[in-house]
Structure 1
């Protein structure tokens, strides 16, 4: 007969399960849920749906000083809110899915790092940066622009500042999701000297220009792709990241061994 187990006998340690790297933080889940809820507008009669687009989409022609405010619904206040509200509207489920696909890794890391308030403000600011770039390059354009691509691009640019750092979520030696999102970021100058960051930049700009000029973006359905807005959002996120980042950066002169994983190779 088996003897009862000795409570003093050593038991094997059980490893705490690692949190999945793509387990969505609440801020990103709420952002995606908001986009999905707003897309229910497609269930409205066509004239109502068109009114929602006219009221909340970004239309460069709205800023034509030769027109009266009454030419577009919302008047002068809409000239302000459409810099952000357009980013919550989408053409179809494919359009939403394509943006969410890129938000899963990059938006998750950014939401964990920033927290909800900073994350939402950052998405709004990068949306505005994308709208401004679109306005500059499409003056007097009457076609409405919608979609979160500029904000998604900004999130990708911001995440790039810490994604390749040792322990970051795109590094080989990453930790759990929270730890990977909170590693000290590279300074902008260091990021622009990092081979992995430069490679990411080259691929990102190349893909956006090819897909944008060729109208190949999934969900566009023949509509013109506002690739200039993507670039505007990306540059806004890249340049303004430090204003939102709550994690202290590593001083290169104080800790030269930590800046990036490239030191390992």
Structure 2
């Protein structure tokens, strides 16, 4: 199932949501070569992606991980590595990866920003992304495989949405049908899928690459735990009153 929209209007233009989407898009086109320049894509993932084993120094320097077309990512000890928990949030591995993340962010991000305010939302996004990176490192600290994607931070946004607006209807695309479902059902189903998918990785020496599922889990839990520390209660109450005026029949 794919989220298309929700029945949750916003009071203010979600400037930070738009800005983050723009930064992600600019990074994809100008740093990663839009998926067309494979060398640029691999170089960005290798040099700016999160490699758990580089952060923990548990992966041997010089170990090469094949990334396709005769190119490999080599474990190193460069100073840039300490910043990769942040830089990796803005990188993606393919068009599908990019568009999927942006769609989820588009559906859920504007309402969470509207409930926090812009600066709080930006801080919340980054902190959830860092929590997601930490979760992946804890699960697989010696992995030499680079991890990229905004998924961890966006998972935090989804966790926040679950707490703030559990009963708001989300319009989900299921095959050719659009089905409105309560947000709690959509988000708990998504979280359950991540946990079930990630459990086999706990018995493996290394995750399989791409965007690690445990980053999703860590980001989501961070969002659930931290949302009340970042929520602006005045904004949330104002949104709730306005939503009830627009949709008196909705919860």
TM-score by length of 1: 0.63
The equivalences for 1:67-106 within 5 A come to 72=76, 74-75=78-79, 78-79=81-82, 81-106=83-108
Residue of structure 2 equivalent to 1:50: 42
The equivalences for 1:24-173 within 5 A come to 25-40=14-29, 41-43=31-33, 46-65=38-57, 72=76, 74-75=78-79, 78-79=81-82, 81-164=83-166, 169-170=168-169
Structure 1 stretches of at least 4 aligned residues deviating more than 4 Å after TM superposition: 44-49, 196-201, 210-215, 222-225
Distance 2:233 2:111 in 1: 13
Distance 2:8 2:103 in 1: 16
Q: Which has the higher contact order (CA 8 A, sep 6+)?
A: 2
Relative to its length, the structure with more strand (as a share) is 2
Unpaired runs of 5+ in structure 2?
A: 1-6, 62-73, 171-181, 202-207, 237-249
Distance 1:124 1:32 in 2: 14
Deviation at 1:64, TM superposition (A): 3.3
TM-score by length of 2: 0.66
- Report how many aligned residue pairs link the two structures: 199
Distance 1:214 1:36, change over 3 A: farther
Higher Cα radius of gyration: 1
| 2:243 is aligned with 1:232 | no
The equivalences for 1:203-218 within 5 A come to 203-210=189-196
Unpaired runs of 5+ in structure 1?
A: 1-18, 172-195, 216-221, 251-263
How large is the Cα RMSD of the aligned pairs?
A: 3.6
Deviation at 1:202, TM superposition (A): 3.8
Deviation at 1:158, TM superposition (A): 0.6
